[in-house]
Structure 1
Amino acid sequence: MANITLALSSSTLFQLTRKPTSRFTPRIEAMASTTKSRTKVVPAVIVGGGRVGKALNDMGNGDDLLVKRGEPVPLDFEGPILVCTRNDDLDAVLEFTPKPRWNDLVFFQNGMLEPWLESKGLGNADQVLAYFAISKLGEPPVDGITDTNPEGLTASYGKWASAVADRLHAGGLTCKVLDKEAFQKQMLEKLIWISAFMLVGARHPGATVGRVEKEYRSEVSSLIAELATAAAAEKGLVFEGAMEDRLCAYSRAVAHFPTAVKEFKWRNGWFYSLSEKAIAEGKPDPCPLHTAWLKELKVV
């Protein structure tokens, strides 16, 4: 069958598609359609074989290199290096990545990476806000398309931003390319989402993200407002209006997600550091509700 397809000219293939003349035609038409619809994706090194890494690898054209824990990133593989590990493994990723390749790193991690990136001289590193959910290894991602953002929320920034967007589009996901300022606002907004919904959910054992949005809306609304005010003051920026509506809409899109306060250093820990800094300077806590609930759960 493969030989028959290769032997056909484009005009012959067109005629077969329009006017079936043999029992092979439906298969040929399907193969032609698949070939046309397949997007060319820039080959990448993918660090991390978990849910996100596996999904990104599946979106490629088969010429990516999947690097697992403890394996070195090659010096001579051109293209982006998509980092899909846990945040606490990032130091090890740098250790196994040749320094000349650091400017090709693309970080997919949730949370506040800025202090860590700056400490490594990577203040302008490529990043991706992955507003999609993958419940189990090997399952297709569920895009974070919401009723307030039907165009999707996933965003990329940096040198390889367009290549990342093309890969996600090939996998049926949305992704927009943003400049640094716009990306920072959306990064902080997602940080507020994960910090607020996880903390409120942890106060109500067994609560999913959807249940928090539906049953504990007043709690999460108060926390979103508090964290947004603190983040805006710290970074000297102004968020777009209706943040609560956007974050609650996203929660409805991934309603099945469980809640827990995890990776504290990278998530709620950033807001708690603002509280500690203010208190040390004799100023009021900018996040008193957040601090009180962390103490209630004995997180701090």
Structure 2
Amino acid sequence: MMILMLFFNLLLSLVGANGMLEPWFESKGLGDADQVLAYFAVSKLGEPPVDGITDTNPEGLTAAFGKWGPAVAARLQAGGLSCKVLEKEPFQKQMLEKLIWISAFMLVGALHPGATVGVVEKDFRFEVISLIGELASAAAAEKGIVFEVGIENRLLAYARAVSHFPTAVKEFKWRNGWFYSISEKAIAQGKPDPCPLHTKWLKELNIVQ
């Protein structure tokens, strides 16, 4: 059990941060690097991990990709956690969904100081759904993919599963910054901002000028 706990904490230190890592991987020549999308949490060293299971995804959301994906999945499953092994495109879609989740919920929460993820899901649902739709559309166009139907419901369900989490816009470069770069690129080309709500709220919080 101790070995498994050390593995969980090491894995969280490597992949626990939510963010768009693809540009960094590509800059290092690691475009096909094995990856794990961790939907579980360890509150502190020694505590058992809590699985990322929601009412829309009772099979669990954690996913692994690449050569070592099956080995990682087996170790997580041995520790009582779910983990599916995906091919690159399905994995990329799920990674983007989590990026949209963290970017949308943290930004809407920041607009309402003190709001937890659960409060955003319950009291500011219209705002966060609007932002999810905007970010999903931009991400789909940027990556040339089509998300599965029901993305809003899936992300709201995950928010309910981690309703106690606080909200704050952090790690801008790796999260909201990826979407803002899409906006900047479009504007520089004389095109409309594909994420106007996102840009507006970032400016309201003085995160961008």
Distance 1:276 1:214 in 2: 31
Q: CA deviation at 1:110?
A: 1.9
Question: Larger relative CO (CA 8 A, sep 6+): 1 or 2?
Answer: 2
Kept in 2, the 8 Å contact 1:146–1:253? The answer is yes
- Show the counterpart of 2:185: 277
- Greater C-alpha radius of gyration: 1
Structural mapping, 1:138-149, within 5 Å: 138-149=46-57
1:242 corresponds to 2:150:
yes
Could you say what secondary structure the match of 2:173 adopts? helix
- Show the counterpart of 1:134: 42
Q: CA deviation at 1:142?
A: 1.3
Kept in 1, the 8 Å contact 2:12–2:38? The answer is no
1:267 corresponds to 2:196:
no
Kept in 2, the 8 Å contact 1:207–1:258? The answer is yes
Q: CA deviation at 1:83?
A: 7.3
Distance 2:29 2:12 in 1: 17
- Show the counterpart of 1:170: 78
What's the TM-score, normalizing by structure 1? 0.66
Kept in 2, the 8 Å contact 1:56–1:167? The answer is no
Give CA-to-partner distance per residue, 1:182-229, whole Å, 9 cap, x none.
000000000000000000011111111111101100000000000000
Q: CA deviation at 1:57?
A: 2.6
Matching residue's letter, 2:55? D
The total of aligned residue pairs comes to 207
1:209 corresponds to 2:94:
no
Identify which of 95, 104, 107 aligns with 1:199: 107
- Relative to structure 1, the CA distance from residue 257 to residue 204 in structure 2 (aligned partners, 3 Å threshold; closer, same or farther) is same
1:84 corresponds to 2:5:
no
Structure 1 residue runs without a partner (length 5+)? 1-37, 44-53, 60-65, 67-81, 86-106
Structure 2 residue runs without a partner (length 5+)? none
Structural mapping, 1:69-80, within 5 Å: none
- Over the matched positions of the two proteins, sequence identity in percent amounts to 78
- Relative to structure 1, the CA distance from residue 123 to residue 109 in structure 2 (aligned partners, 3 Å threshold; closer, same or farther) is farther
Identify which of 140, 152, 159 aligns with 2:67: 159
Kept in 2, the 8 Å contact 1:143–1:173? The answer is yes
Could you say what secondary structure the match of 2:35 adopts? strand
Matching residue's letter, 1:185? K
- Relative to structure 1, the CA distance from residue 222 to residue 270 in structure 2 (aligned partners, 3 Å threshold; closer, same or farther) is same
- Show the counterpart of 1:88: none
Identify which of 64, 89, 96 aligns with 1:188: 96
Matching residue's letter, 1:125? A
RMSD value, Cα: 1.8
Q: CA deviation at 1:109?
A: 3.9
